[in-house]
A and B are shown apart, each in its own frame.
Chain A
């Protein structure tokens, strides 16, 4: 079957580092995407890992271990504007599978 797990909520202060873990079980796995969504907005692409290892894009980094069916998103130097929902989305047979997401709350 298919399953996806990530924490429901994470709270951190400005300037801190947050790691959002994602474990998945899916068939036909191609890669793992991460999206950010602010309240009332559309999901915005953050990163995609097709191979094992770390991908770095500015303050955001994403990691994938295909053998462990595990990935994480690292948010560094947190800013208030980073308060949003973050979704990991395994690419299964060319289709993105979204879970309920992780609500990140950044406090002053």
Chain B
């Protein structure tokens, strides 16, 4: 079975631009969570979606938004990019709302210049 997939793998943007990152969960998984990982730090929780509804939001500005589609795939949007948004963006899927086992995708490396 395919694992969690994310696209694109790498992305370079300039300050002020907008970016959309995509995630496809493991087949049968209904929950998707997004994390930001800055170099040298652990992943920081951004959003959790379950059954197309937002079920949790971390400490991130409103420039960050996300949605989940009927097929359970998800998009993360970041507007008005700042240099500090440069990071690895990870998507994780799980069977249900519970986080006892989350499966992470390979991530999207975003560089903001």
Contact = CB atoms under 8 A, between A and B. Distances in A.
A41 B103 CA distance: 13
Contacts of A91: 99-100
Interface residues of A, number: 23
Interface in A59-108: 87, 89, 91, 93-101
B100 A33 contact: yes
A62 B70 CA distance: 36
Contacts of A43: 43, 90, 92, 104
A93 B103 CA distance: 18
A27 interface: no
Given A87-B42, A94-B55, A101-B42, A42 B97 contact: no
With a 10 A CB-CB cut-off, give which of A31, A45, A96, A99 has the most chain B CB atoms: A96
Given A43-B90, A101-B42, A48 B56 contact: no
A42 B100 contact: no
A95 B101 contact: no
B100 A98 contact: no
Given A42-B107, A43-B90, A45-B102, A94 B40 contact: no
17 contacts: A30-B98, A31-B100, A33-B102, A42-B105, A43-B43, A50-B100, A89-B42, A94-B55, A94-B56, A94-B98, A95-B48, A95-B58, A95-B99, A97-B45, A98-B43, A98-B45, A101-B42
Given A94-B55, A98-B42, A99-B42, 8 more contacts: A31-B100, A41-B106, A43-B90, A50-B100, A93-B56, A95-B48, A98-B45, A101-B42
